[in-house]
Structure 1
Amino acid sequence: MYHGLRRLIFASLILLFLPWAIGLHLFGSSTLLEGTTAFVSVALSCVFVILALVLMYPRVWWETVTTALVFGVVLMFMPVLEMVPELAPVENREKVSVFVIFATLFGGFFLWLGLNWLPGILMEIPLGLREWRSRVHYDMPADQAFQVLKTSPDSDDGKYKTGPVGKDGLFTVSLSINSVNPDTWDPEAEDVLYKCKIEHEGPSQQVTSNFYMIEDEANVDVERLTVRASGQGAVCETQAIRSRRNLYEDLGFWLQDYGADHLYGRLLMSEGRPSVALVDLPYVSPLFGLARFFEQFNDDPPSPKGGKV
């Protein structure tokens, strides 16, 4: 969990300060931010907002990076925006200044909303990594960790529930994930079903084929699980060869380290400890909070319960 959050924070800070630095190089410094106190105060305020989003909505990442990018773009063009009132007649400069302020605020907000439509486009681009690799070190004997993480038929660990093996070697897997209700925007649990076949299994390694449907299209992913001893603990690794790829999932996989986060959560739960993995947190986001807020003004508003607004 913490590793994934570090990556997200680091990437967000780059998206904040890199455009700002480019703006300083191209347009010079902003009049409003000439003093050290003002400059540091604005920088710390932006960092605080980013950290607050990460802590309040750790399950989602896109809204956080787009917020950082919008802050960076606004700060980048602030010297240019400050020049606009000077182009107006003297008697109108005050009105133009007010207009520029409101245009910047609303423009930044609608830019943020527009950027949050991009995931739907990125998901349709069939590019990205063919293979996902994940690794986590855990304080547990290697043989015990392997028994926890391997996929077995006729089992139920509270997160994965599997059925009996059929004649074709396939068995059904039901995975409980945290999702969001599309009607009320409330976080909810959802069961995802797919078929699994164990292709190979040894004392510390297992290879499985996972068959699933997306939009009436058949897909199969091949995953290799390897667990080896490291001191008193275990190093758990997964290598997944994917049949369906897109840029959005690859970015999220790296920023939040989906694979290692998932392994860590399962290992924690096997010891009866509450999982702090991101994947096991309720699916809440600022965008869903906004949607739930504006839905209240409809004739048929959603349920009042739910996550943060």
Structure 2
Amino acid sequence: MIYIHLGSWKTGTTTIQTVLRRNRVALQKLGYKFVDQRSQEFKDFAATFNEARKLPLREFDTLTSGETAILERSFDEFYNLVRGIENPIFSWEPFLGHPFSGLSSMYNSESAALWFSYLARRALDTFKFVLTVRNQFDFIESMYSQEVRKARFLSGFNDFFADKLPNDLGWEAVAKPFSDIFADDSLSVIPFEIVKKNGIRNYLEVFFRSVGIDLSELSLLDKDLHSNPSFSKVADSIALNVYPFLEKNDRLLLERVLVENFSNKTHKDNSYFTSTQRNMLYSKVARGNALFFQKYCPSYDAQEMGYI
């Protein structure tokens, strides 16, 4: 079995990866191995995967020889990572691409699902996918702060809301390509709001259970549980006003200062939505969210978790 944590971004992925990385030895004793995206081998794979995902979305047999060669290179690099490993675990948000990248939906998951289907056809591997999701209100605000933090968007939230969001903000469009191609039990969906309800430890328990691991078998440090705090609204404001005047190295230094002193751990008021924007978004996503929860995570309450 090959385990693939797809993300999404801003759903505790860094914490999950930190726990996986810290517990390499324990995972090996349990029969698993974390495939770390920090390794050079993974970077080699990532380059070929990103090239392959740009290919036209069509059946494998209709690809040109040049397109097939691009796919084969990405497959070879993937198997360089997993060769001889019984239960490799990947946790890498860019499998889905970057959200809001000029797409009609939040992610281009169709190309990723098709790539894995090509791979499964070639080698007959069995995949288990895990998709971690977040209610769109918190997700959009968190992504806005992330884009400001990384200097990819240096304007106000109203501009982000008006210009950067895709037409389809539903999670169904992200999950459906995988559920259409692979068996029903191949995809697990976990809502990030478990953190608010039961704490980060319970969220990790649910995640690791989805890949067949008992969290009690792993070592957790308190610092692991909050390994990537987000910018607060205060940090966003400082960055928006100062980043444009800084060179890259100085910006990175300021970013560290802001994370240490003005993160969402210490500054809690981070809401950007106006009531009009919130109502507009609710009208777009509420019905789809209800159906999404019924289909993919029926044991959770969509209303309680802020999705409807």
Calculate the TM-score normalised by the size of structure 2.
0.22
Higher helix share: 2
Structure index of larger Rg: 1
Higher strand share: 1
